[in-house]
Amino acid sequence: MPAFEQEPNDTPATATPITSGERIRGSVSPAGDVDVYSFSANAGDRVFTATVTNALGNFGETQLTLVAPDGKSVIETDNGDGAFSASSIAGATIPVSGTYYLKVTDPSLGGEVVPYDLYLQLRSGSPVPESEPNSTLKTADSLASGYVSGRQDPPDRDYFAMQLQAGDTVFLSLDLDLERDGKSFNGSLGFGLLGEPGYISAVHNREPYGVPSDAYEFTVLKGGTYYAVVTTAEGGEGGPEATYRLSATILPAEEPRCRTYTSTPSPGTIPDWGGVAFPIPVTDGDTISRAAVGLELTHPRMQDLAISLWTPSRSEIPLRLRRGSIEPHMVERFDPYAADSSTVSVNPVIVQPPIGDESNWLNSQQINGTWNLVVRDEEAGETGLVSRIELIFCSRPEPLSSEPQPKPSNEFRIGRVKKQKLKITLSSAGRVRVVARLSRHPKRRASRDRFKRAIRPSSASGGPGTVWVPLRLTRKARLRLKAGRPLRFEAVATFTPTGGEPSTKVARLAVRGRSFTRRARKGSKSADLLP
């Protein structure tokens, strides 16, 4: 599981520390936010770093900048290289020993990126040179050192082998301009499981920004021998200048204590232009540190489907919005801590898409109750079939300590609303989630026009101290504000301190204003399907 950024971290003085070989999850939120991370490096070290956004259900873009110890001078910046990355910097040289910074922003300085994953790997010394011939899987070089180099002269396929266990995440970073002299080549980076070359999923940066590089992040479900492959991209040329460095970082899988609750729906039919809820009762009393959903279904038009998970407290976690897919059969595992979400991948590996940032609030929550998987067909013409559902809950191993660990305070105070943001004061570091309580009274005719949900689930991390939670207003709520009418509703705030127990408070809130410019995602009517 990744570490998490610690807000505020918008300056070098308040930077969140990151170490080599680590992954940190953060968010550029609210709009215009700046996230700064600090790390120590020695003169001559090479920096391999990248951010990931679209693999996390977020198609935003970041700008990643490597900053000198003075906190101002830019060594290198990028906002478009890589495959599943929003940004990639590979092979930048550290000039002098000291503390350096990585700055993550939205390129337009006016948008949000929620969430992103940041990877960092420092390499020292010389990489292991490739040993030709290594153009087939059988003659592949070893990538056990994690740092290799090669040349595409003449152009061929350079294979490198590594051993991965189930659940491992690998971060591949390819430097395509070693000397930083502008003489590079259009390289391609691939990754795959043991098998024929067709099992390799290759990616390349078509329009490099700044210094060319490629990055690939992947979480595997099956252990075995995997391969990284470097070659020229389609239409590219090799030559004496076609040199590269490749860094491979493996983040080992944790060994959490997990339970799987399986449902084999019968008949499990997805109605045409409608929806269905599949209940999954859970009677155990454990607390959650990690949640995942496995799903197998068939549908002639997969792009018509929207899928979400509803908790026993009737909170919705979107798993899959409508998107294009040509495959009529889907087997996916939605996991918030996996690196990649592409299902067009290496057989028999199924990549694990994350639930999304909203799922993090499940940490430390009780799992008992009836969960519902809701599948909606939002276009007419076809029906489908759900054949298997897996609800997976994990808890981390208990720390080996003879003395009980004190739990942080879960006290917090709800403040005022300003510019569609709710002020909350936290007693310790953690995460706070705000949802709207249903406001329609079933026995009062006059209450029919009230908003059932004034805001979508909103969350923020930080503390101790003040945290501003951006309220994600629904479309109806925004229209009400636009008409100059105040919006009043009850909100339920849940604060979960890091390593502590959650606490909940209810407050009556009022939002006033004539505009709300943040773009909202299309609403869902899945709540009507729940029992």
Written in H, E and C, the secondary structure of 96-154 is CCEEEEEEEECCCCCCCEEEEEEEEEEECCCCEECCCCCCCCCCCEECCCCEEEEECCC
Question: Does the pLDDT at position 440 exceed 50?
Answer: no
Predicted local confidence at residue 400, as pLDDT: 39
**CATH number of the domain within which 367 lies:** 2.60.120.260
Find all residues with CB under 8 Å of 414, minimum gap 6, and list them: 422, 423, 424, 491, 493, 505, 507
Query: Taking 80 as the threshold, does the pLDDT of residue 24 lie above it?
Result: yes
Question: Would the CA dihedral through 321, 323, 329, 335 be positive or negative?
Answer: negative
The position carrying tokens 């504000």 is 481
pLDDT band at 159 (very low <50, low <70, confident <90, very high): very high
Q: Is residue 407 part of a domain?
A: no
CB-CB contact of 214 with 88 (8 Å): yes
522-523-524 Cα angle (round to 5): 125
Q: Is-contact 113 62, C-beta < 8 A? A: yes
Does residue 34 register a pLDDT over 90?
A: yes
Highest mean pLDDT among 140-149, 151-160, 228-237, 492-501: 140-149
How far is Cα 141 from Cα 410, in angstroms, rounded to an integer? 52
Which pLDDT belongs to residue 332? Answer: 78
Q: pLDDT-based confidence at 401, cuts 50/70/90?
A: very low
Based on the fold, state whether residues 298 and 352 are members of the same structural domain: yes
| Confidence tier at 85 by pLDDT (50, 70, 90) | low
- Shared domain check, 15 and 119: yes
Domain-located, residue 402: no
Clarify whether residues 418 and 514 are in a common domain: yes
Task: Judge if 112 and 134 occupy the same domain.
Answer: no
Give mean pLDDT, residues 382-408: 71
Of 129-133, 278-282, 495-499, the poorest mean pLDDT is in: 495-499
Q: What is the pLDDT of residue 245?
A: 95
372 & 271 share domain: yes
SS3 readout for 269-311: EECCCCEEEEEEEECCCCECCEEEEEEEEECCCHHHEEEEEEC
**Looking at the structure, do residues 348 and 307 belong to the same domain, yes or no?**
yes
- Residues 382 and 261 occupy one common structural domain: yes
CA dihedral sign, ordered 405, 412, 421, 419? negative
Tell me how far apart the alpha carbons of residues 514 and 519 are, in angstroms, rounded to a whole number: 15
Q: Does the pLDDT value for residue 115 go beyond 70?
A: yes
Look at residue 404 and tell me if it is in a domain.
Answer: no
Q: C-alpha 423: how far from its chain's center? A: 26
Average pLDDT along the chain? 79
Q: Residue 249 has what pLDDT?
A: 96
> How many of the other CB atoms lie within 10 Å of CB of 13?
10
DSSP letters spanning 356-385: -GGGGGGTT-B--EEEEEEEEE-SSS--EE
- The better pLDDT of the pair 456, 39 is held by 39
Is 401 contained in some domain? no
With tokens 């070359």, the residue in question is 197
- Closest to 372 in 3D by CA, of 435, 308, 287, 322: 308
Q: 49 with 111, same domain?
A: yes
Same domain for 237 and 288?
no
Q: Which of 347, 365, 395 is the last residue of a domain?
A: 395
Q: Is the pLDDT of residue 193 over 90?
A: no
Contact criterion met (CB below 8 Å) for 212 and 184: yes
Which CATH number goes with the domain that contains 89? 2.60.120.380
Counted domains in the chain: 4
Q: Is residue 494 located within the same domain as residue 385?
A: no
How high is the pLDDT of residue 195? Answer: 56
In angstroms, the CA 270 to CA 273 distance is: 9
Residue 265 or 360, more confident: 265
Last residue of a domain, one of 198, 231, 251: 251
- Are residues 343 and 423 part of one domain? no
Tell whether 232 and 206 lie within a shared domain. Answer: yes
135 is a domain residue: yes
Residues sharing a CB contact under 8 Å with residue 173, sequence separation 6 or more, in sequence order: 48, 49, 50, 88, 90, 119, 121, 213, 214, 215, 246, 247, 249
- Per-residue pLDDT reduced to its tens digit, 351-390: 334 444 444 556 666 778 889 989 998 888 888 899 888 8
The answer to whether the CB of 455 falls within 8 A of the CB of 473 is yes
523: domain CATH number?
Answer: 2.60.40
User: How far is CA 81 from its chain centroid?
Assistant: 18
What range does the domain containing 345 cover? 257-395
- Are the CB atoms for 323 and 332 separated by under 8 Å? no
| 31 in a structural domain | yes
| Domain annotation covers residue 88 | yes
Q: Which residue has the tokens 């599981």?
A: 1
Q: Which of 93, 123, 153 is the last residue of a domain?
A: 123
Q: Is residue 453 part of a domain?
A: yes
